[in-house]
Structure 1
Amino acid sequence: MIAVSAMPVQAQDAPADEADGGGEIVVTATRKSETLSKVPVSVQAFTQNELVKQGLRNVEDLARMTPGVSLRRGGLGVSNVSIRGISSGAGASTIGVYIDDTPIQVRSLGVASSIMYPALFDLERVEVLRGPQGTLFGAGSEGGTIRFIQPEPSVTEWSGLARGDLSTTTNGKESYEAAFAIGGPLVTDKIGIRASAYFRHEGGFIDKMVGTPVVRNTTGALGVQSLSFTNTSLYKADVNSSDTFAARLALTFKPSETITITPSINYQSFFTPDAAPNVWPTMSNFETADYATPRWNPTVDATHLPLDVDSGEPQRDKFIMPALKIEADLGFADLVSTTSYFKRDTSQTLDYTNIYAVSYAGRQTPNVGDVAISTVSNRQRNWTQEVRLQSVSDGPLTWVAGGFYSRNEQQAIQNSQTNFLPFLNPLFGIRNDGAPFGPGYSAFINFYGVPQLNGTSSYLSDFKAIDTQIAGFADATYELLEGLKVTAGVRVSKNKIEYTAFYDGPANNLNAPRGLACVPGTGVGTVPCTAVAVGQYEPGTGPFTPRYLNSSASGSDTAVTPKFGISYQATRDTMVYATVSKGFRPSGAQIALPGNCNPELVQLGYVNAQGQASSPQTYGSDSVWSYEAGAKTRMFGGALQLNGSVFHIKWSNIQSTVSVQTCLQSLTANLGSATSQGFDLQAVLKPVRELTLMANVGYTDATFDDDTIINGRTLYTGGSVLPSSGSPWTVTLSGDFRYPIADKTYYVRADYTYRSKEGRTGNTDPGSINYDPNQPVNKAYTIVNGRAGIELGDLDLSLYVNNIFNVAPMINLGHTRNQPVFTTLVTRPRSVGLTAAISF
């Protein structure tokens, strides 16, 4: 068998345990089992065998190998996946993520909500479906769907696999992995079991340094050289290590020939003692891929409070997912019921020192001893029930119909603490001993009206969102003539969102005096407020009693997402198809922003009839219409495979993030429309039996249709690219040479991936109000991986080198406007390792 990189739906031959009788990989992208080359959908499928051969370990690797898919990591450790340019950090998810039949994606809530992807082990396959999949996979699949499909227990034969891995990283620590899975009949033809366990330790490669920052240019005009450090010393090496553990247990019961019952439970945990999401280029050496980030050590003195600070930025994330699948053969159709519960808890500490130093203290960099941290916890509780009926006939009509219910509860709690904020003088222009409280009171009290919570907390929030969805769907394909099929499908869903918010802390005090010698919220005509004598009231009393915006909001909508398609199997090896489909993202609710956001809200035009600031508490749904045409063909007896598709997507009423920078907040609003168009193309050539060559090319042009203007401010210009849409050009080239000698097979393979320079948008676009001339766009970069090994029967031993040339791109290099601090995300430096894998 020739092992090559993962390919779209018309992928290469698969081993027997991954294929149907015709030798092709079988997928369920249409909820029916079909061979890859016969599915009229743009899908990329990765089998377990391919994951091992290519050394794919996480969703970033999947995105790197899939044209049209981009993964953008944020500075808070949040990953945002874009498929065909459709991506948004606001509102509900634009992609669906499934473990078997359970959706696990999240709504954007708080500052660090992100999807936890399952480990890539003991999977039957991973399917990446490009384009809207709302008809069969619901409201969260506006841009596409990623499906992690696990093997079901067998009641007839035993099988298993094991994998071990050990590697070292340039300028970093060692990584190691151990994993095992086994399954088979406990009672032949009646009871089967499948169990797996996975552990991976990822060695760190980012150092924490202490030093004295020196500003060389206050606006950032010198780029990463606008700031330097002196008196540097190592605080801790290779801090960003991580541990991932995953386990699964599944049982299959067949009480009769027609009924199969499969209960299962999945568990996964992730821990890093220091996420260190951002690298500071001024402390790093990108020629050698030696990365560092600063450690701000707290002090206790006359201008700094005692503050309990972790040694790093720890992050803990775990989920448990019990599920029950029941299948019944009704003769004319299969009845499938899936019930699941997804429980996830995340906690994270974020370093906010530089944010508070810049935004509150007005400093270029933190002073010695300054520290600010924000602790964030997120919880996710998803109940899901789906029942579907699927035809089993080989006749001209095939169909699937079903119902879906889900109740997804999310909660995000954030607590921000500082050790220096109460000592700032002035604070936003307000000074100690001034109005309204007079001598003896700090600028902090005179501005906010209340002290920090528990002495150190300036901001506390607790948000909760409950999404409820009830839907019915149907999809049917009819063969009009031999080889000519038409498809029609529709999903109707009722979506409801309930949102509650709790606020506390001085930064959220709506009754904050802000240094005025008058009563907040009073006044007549042109007189802004009623004057009082300085020192007449104590903080937190009388007219200065604190008030917090604890609120609730709700919204609902009904969505209809149709799909139409036509396909023609012109020959045994050639198929052409075209589809028109709609994708949908439900409306949402949000909390009203705190009072210190009001001045900028007025500037943005978010006001009521009286001209007062009015933060919107709901936003509407958005949707896409996708038009796609594709072809899949094999020539020269299968020696050459050509497969591709072109697409045109219209995105309307986009749920977008509007930053309210003066108060470090944001809101979600429906802003403008966009068009995404492009193609994905694959060629697989097998010139000789031993050699397989592959080229994957994707192009996505995702841009705003017109200027996006709020109250005279142009946030995005027409023609600028969609934020987070990624590189327009993505290229993957792979070669795999395998040579059998006696009972051994030797092989060598290489993978080359290219990401082009990104387009301008927002703060990189001269036409935007947020334009920053010192903000660069992401540059093009390439990554080359190589692997050589030997197969000894069921045992596969290989040596690999990832990032062979130690490429060190600056990804999402950015800074705060008119500030000298630049931070960036990075790829892992060169890693050399050994893998041993066995399957039976």
Structure 2
Amino acid sequence: MRVQLTQKRKLCCSAAAFALITSVGLPAAAQEAADKPVTQVEEIVVTATKRAERLLDVPISISAYDEKSLDKSGVRDVNGLAAITPGLTFQSTGVTNNITIRGVAADALRGPPTTAIYIDDVPLLFNKGFGTTTVPTPKIFDLDRIEVLRGPQGTLFGGSAMGGAVRFITPQPSLTSSSGYARGEVADTSGGGLSYEAGAAVGGPIIQDKLGFRISADYRRDGGVVDNYSSIPGGVNQKNTDYSDTYAMRAALAYAPTDNVTITPSLYYQDVKTNNRSFINEAASNPHNHQYIATNLMLSPSRDKFFLPSLNMSVDLGAVKFTSITAYLSRDSNQTADYTTFVPSIVNGPQPTSAANMSQLQLNSTQRNFSQEFRLANTDPNARLKWTVGAFYRRSVVDGVQQIYSPNFGNYIQSSFGKTVEQKFGHGMANGVYSLFSQQGFVDKEIAAFVDAEFALTDQLSIAGGVRFSHLEQNFYYVGAGPLTGLASFQGSAKSSPVTPRISLNYKPSRDQLFYVSAAKGYRAGGANTPLSGFAQPGCQTALSGYGDTTTYAPDSLWSYEAGSKSSLFGGRVRVDASAFHIDWKNITNNVTVAACSGNFLANLGDASVNGFDLGVTANPVRNLTLSLATGYTSATYSKGAALGSNVFTRKGEQIADTPPWNVSVAAEYSFDLPHDASGYVRVEDRYRSMNDGSFPFLNPTDKLYNPALVVNPMVNTLNARFGVTRQGYDISVFADNILNDNSVLDIQRSPLIGFPYNGGHPVQPFTVGLTATKRW
């Protein structure tokens, strides 16, 4: 039973921490400098409006973090970012993931997203389908900052920003000064494996004022906590199977041939290899003792890598600035899942007793995106009218393959049913070894023009707004073969021309206060569905007849209304950001599962009302003490139900997704002086996500979206602490995460189908201790 950290590891971590802390002269009691003044809350500059502005001046609900604050919070990925950001939710099953802002949720398995992901000014756009079921999420290393923009951002960031946008802003090469950043980390998780990281970044001028560079590289191992003990003889028995390795690299040059022209080519590369999904078998596990067990015959590894070259060119023309961003995203991903015990359930056959009858789901996808943006903006920060106009083009090609590798399927069918595969299903194996083969592809095109402006009516009152005109086209194909799907082929297309405006009225009684009201439209394109061939099941077509036309689904859209304020109070010692919002969401795109067809399709099912607020407070009440609160509340329910024919899918008052109503992050950090020009700090942070105890369509037996296999996520509360010492750019700290040992299991499914590969859930990371060292110069 591996409940405690091993004694050897505990002694190793404790000795290392003690040696590092005492080496910089930690006294028995920290001594404060009596004449040190109370500091102001740090001011952050953001580019949410594609102009550099103080966060305090932007009439949008934004959470922004620089790399120092992310390091102190121990945030290394989007999951950690969501834990500290109001309104942001991240869910992952290992096969699918989903990023949601303010309850505007996309389907986790299929269709277009509702949250835009950007690296600098480059979108990581995608359309989920076979083989493409995860959002590309950058890891967090060598960043200038992260900006989370809440509410629809379609005017400047396109249709994928229906609920909001998450922007990863990288450090740009300097032409005048050198700088660098390095980070190393080692951590041990209760009952799990070691985690460790090493990365470095450096940049500066090659030719003063003419040519500069920035290069970074990082490797990270996240240790696993799930052990696999196969229930079938001959299977995998391995501890800590769900570990992952991440390799990230970025290189950029800045060239200024003249004083007003800067050309910046850059390259971002990321490769994430996961040894096994973190799904557990609930019956075999004991979460209370942090024993997480899977019982699969095989592991389910995955790999997701993307390559993002881009070229940014800016030309300062005096009164205006011209910017061009050209980018090409190349992404390849593959995933597998053990279907050995699931395939027999599909064909109503006996469960296998030997590894010879293995079946493995294989998902493979490629994504190739080309995008080009041009924009022109005025440069005078004191101008009464500030404006940006631009044009955008994108072509995205996504190809995905879903196949079930079952090399002994013919012998299994013959021995179980006394028939050949062709006799039982009417179709033979695909390529001799696949019981199912399907290929799906999308070609999405977008062309758009946008304008965004702010006009000062008086010194204190301004009106801001913009509009984006887009034309979207999607072409789609599908082919299928094999006994579990039959021969099928399909082609489809969809077009739309959305207009997404926004407007806000802004009042600034002083430089340090902003009040605003705004309205903005969000839009998501429609598309074509994969035909449901029914896994060769005779009842499929009968079931489909009650749904009408399932070949396509229409666009959905929303209007978001927001009132907010941003204030810097008491001489900059207190910063308060608050907003309240109401969203009317029409014609919601939702996933419909047809059990008789063992498949699903997207349809437009009902309208929703989303209400809530976000609140962020940062205060330095006394010398050396910083307190922070980030909280949000979201209520997202159907305001109008929907039915297809006689089939009722959603009802008024039901939740549209399993979004936690409350998320709260509170932190306290105290710093103190140490000898030898060193300083220390202690940081304690608590992160809370509430359970959504509302009614859901998937829990209502009278709804066609009823799915008793799904379980509502529980409340999660994790308490973290960090103690560090800084000196001459070095920061060495020891940390403990999930001190209270929250043992929640998330995203649980409990399908009655024997061998369903997604039965179970994945655990919250157990109690973890570690050591982090960073250096900035």
Aligned counterpart for 1:84 among listed residues 87, 102, 111: 102
Look up the match of 2:365: 378
Q: Give the equivalent residue in structure 1 for 2:10.
A: none
Residue 350 of structure 1 is matched in structure 2 by 337
Q: Which amino acid is 1:24 matched to?
A: E
1:317 is aligned to 2:323: no
Which entry has the higher C-alpha Rg, 1 or 2?
A: 1
Do the aligned partners of 1:699 and 1:728 also contact (CA within 8 Å) in 2? yes
- Tell me the amino acid that sits aligned with residue 626 of structure 1: S
- Point out where structure 1 has 5 or more consecutive residues left out of the alignment: 1-20, 213-230, 297-310, 433-440, 510-547, 609-614
- Which residue of 2 is the match for residue 18 of structure 1? none
> 1:819 offset after TM fit, Å?
6.3
Q: Which residue of 2 aligns with 1:488?
A: 465
Residue 50 (structure 1) shift: 1.2
In 1, Cα distance between the equivalents of 2:172 and 2:537?
Answer: 53
More deviation in 203-212 or 64-73? 203-212
SS of 1:578's equivalent in the other structure is strand
Q: How does 1:3-14 map to 2 (within 5 A)?
A: none
Corresponding residue number in structure 2 for 1:663: 597
Aligned counterpart for 1:550 among listed residues 468, 472, 489: 489
Q: What is residue 836 of structure 1 aligned with on the other side?
A: 773
Deviation at 1:258, TM superposition (A): 0.5
* Matched residue type, 1:810: V
1:431 shift after superposition: 5.2
TM, length-normalised to structure 2 = 0.90
Contact 2:340 2:755 in 1 (8 A): no
* 1:739 CA drift (Å): 0.9
SS at match of 2:209: coil
Q: How far apart are residue 289 of structure 1 and its match?
A: 1.4
Aligned partners of 1:717 and 1:767 also within 8 Å: no
The alignment partner of 1:662 has SS state of: helix
Structure 2 distance, partners of 1:348, 1:232, is 22
Q: Which moved more, 1:772-781 or 1:584-593?
A: 772-781
Moved more, 164-173 or 822-831: 822-831
Partner of 1:761: 696
Determine if contact 2:226/2:242 at 8 Å carries over to the other structure. Answer: yes
CA distance in 2, matches of 1:826, 1:105: 29
Report deviation, 1:24.
1.5
| Conservation of the 8 A alpha-carbon contact between 1:46 and 1:126 | yes
The answer to whether the 8 Å contact 1:553/1:591 transfers is no
The residue type equivalent to 1:712 in the other structure is S
- Cα-to-partner distance string for 1:229-278 (whole Å, 9 max, x where unaligned): xx99981111111111111111111010110001111111111222x241
Q: Does 1:701 align with 2:614?
A: no
The CA distance in 2 between the partners of 1:602 and 1:43, in whole Å, is: 49
Are 1:244 and 1:268, in contact at CA under 8 Å, matched by a contact in 2? yes
CA offset digits 1:542-600 (Å, max 9, x no partner): xxxxxx22221111110100011011112232211111000111121233221536734
Q: C-alpha offsets along residues 703-733 of structure 1, whole Å, 9 cap, x if unaligned?
A: 112232233222222211112x421111111
Once the two structures are overlaid, the 10-residue window that deviates more, 755-764 or 649-658, is 755-764
> Structure 1's 569 and 551: CA in aligned 2 closer, same or farther, altered over 3 A?
same
CA distance in 1, matches of 2:590, 2:705: 15
Alpha-carbon separation, structure 2, partners of 1:775 and 1:246: 35
Q: Are the aligned partners of 2:152 and 2:163 in contact in 1 as well (CA < 8 Å)?
A: yes
The separation in 1 between residues aligned to 2:743 and 2:48, in whole angstroms, is 36
Q: Tell me what 2:723 maps to.
A: 788
* Counterpart residue number, 1:326: 313
Q: 1:233 to 1:467 in 2, by over 3 A?
A: closer
1:802 equivalent to 2:748? Answer: no
Q: Which amino acid aligns with 2:724?
A: G
Identity of aligned residues (%): 34
Gaps of 5+ in 2: 1-39
C-alpha distance in 1 between matches for 2:709 and 2:521: 39
Report if the CA contact (8 A) 1:356-1:372 is conserved.
yes
What one-letter code is carried by the residue in structure 2 that aligns with 1:487?
A
Q: Which amino acid in structure 2 is aligned with residue 498 of structure 1? A: N
1:397 partnered with 2:397: no
Question: Of residues 518, 521, 528 in structure 2, which corresponds to 1:582?
Answer: 521
Q: Distance in 2 between matches of 1:186 and 1:384?
A: 30
Residues 711 and 795 of structure 1: is their aligned pair in 2 closer, same or farther, counting only changes over 3 Å? same
In structure 2, C-alpha distance between the alignment counterparts of 1:340 and 1:646, rounded to whole Å:
36
Offset at 1:419?
5.6
2:749 aligned residue (810, 814, 822): 814
Distance 2:236 2:336 in 1: 21
Quick check: 1:264 aligned with 2:266?
yes
Compute the displacement of 1:623 (Å).
0.7
- The secondary structure found in structure 2 opposite 1:507 is coil
SS at structure 1 position matched to 2:672: strand
Q: Does 1:478 align with 2:478?
A: no
What whole-Å deviation, never above 9, does each CA across 1:262-303 have from its counterpart, x for those lacking one? 1111111111222x241111111211212110122xxxxxxx
Is 1:415 paired with 2:403? Answer: yes
Asked if the contact 1:288/1:806 (under 8 Å) is kept, the reply is: no
User: Is 1:131–1:144's contact at 8 Å kept on the other side of the alignment?
Assistant: yes
| Deviation of the 1:46 alpha carbon | 1.1
Mapped to 2, the partners of 1:710 and 1:697 lie a distance apart of: 38
SS in 2 for 1:37: helix
656-665 vs 486-495, which moves further: 656-665
Quick one: which amino acid aligns to residue 88 of structure 1? A
- Residue 767 of structure 1: how far off its partner (Å): 4.3
Question: Residue 173 of structure 1 aligns to which amino acid in structure 2?
Answer: G
Provide the C-alpha distance between the structure 2 equivalents of 1:112 and 1:381, rounded to a whole number of angstroms: 12
* Change beyond 3 A, Cα 1:32–1:22: farther
Q: Which residue of 2 aligns with 1:435?
A: none
Q: More deviation in 401-410 or 109-118?
A: 109-118
From the superposition, tell whether residues 674 and 420 of structure 1 become closer, same or farther in structure 2 (CA, over 3 Å): farther
Structure-1 residue corresponding to 2:83? 64
**In the TM superposition, what whole-angstrom CA distance separates every residue of 1:476-535 from its partner, at most 9, and x where no partner exists?**
1001011111012000000000111121112222xxxxxxxxxxxxxxxxxxxxxxxxxx
Q: Give per-residue Cα distances to partners, 1:382-440, cap 9 Å, x unaligned.
A: 0000000011122111000000000011010111123665466799xx954xxxxxxxx
Q: Point out the more displaced range, 348-357 or 375-384.
A: 348-357
Does structure 1 conserve the Cα–Cα contact (< 8 Å) formed by 2:605 and 2:650?
A: no
Distance change in 2, residues 1:716/1:97 (3 Å): same
What is aligned with 1:465? 442
SS at match of 2:159: coil
**Aligned-partner Cα distance in 1 for 2:391–2:755:** 55
What value does the CA root-mean-square deviation take over the aligned residues? 2.3
Distance 2:245 2:311 in 1: 29
Q: Which amino acid is 1:294 matched to?
A: T
SS at structure 2 position matched to 1:114: coil
Which stretch has the larger CA shift, 86-95 or 61-70? 86-95
Contact 1:159 1:183 in 2 (8 A): yes
| CA apart distance, 1:202 | 1.3
SS in 2 for 1:705: strand
SS in 1 for 2:498: strand
TM-score (norm 1): 0.83
1:567 aligns to 2:567 (yes or no) = no
Conserved 8 A contact 2:530-2:551: yes
After superposition, the Cα gap between the structure-2 partners of 1:33 and 1:774, relative to the gap in structure 1 and judged at 3 Å, is: closer
Question: Would you say the 8 A contact 1:72–1:726 is kept in 2?
Answer: no
Structure 1 residue 604: Cα displacement: 4.6
1:585-641 CA-partner distances (Å, limit 9, x unpaired):
112123322153673454354567xxxxxx632221111110000011233223333
Q: For residues 313 and 146 of structure 1, do their structure 2 counterparts lie closer, same or farther at Cα, with a shift above 3 Å needed?
A: same
**2:71 counterpart SS class:** helix
Q: Which residue of 1 aligns with 2:58?
A: 39
8 Å contact from structure 1 (residues 408, 467) kept in 2: yes
Which residue number corresponds to residue 360 of structure 1? 347
Q: Does structure 1 retain, via aligned residues, the 8 Å contact 2:543–2:596?
A: no
In the other structure, the counterpart of 2:474 is: 497
Shift, 1:322, TM fit:
0.9
Tell me the equivalent position of 1:719.
653
Cα deviation 1:90-144 (Å, max 9, x = unaligned): 4211111111111113111115421221121111111010010000000111010
For residues 667 and 768 of structure 1, the distance between their equivalents in structure 2, rounded to whole angstroms, comes to 16
In the alignment, what sits opposite 1:6?
Answer: none
Relative distance call for 1:460 and 1:234 in structure 2 (3 A) is closer
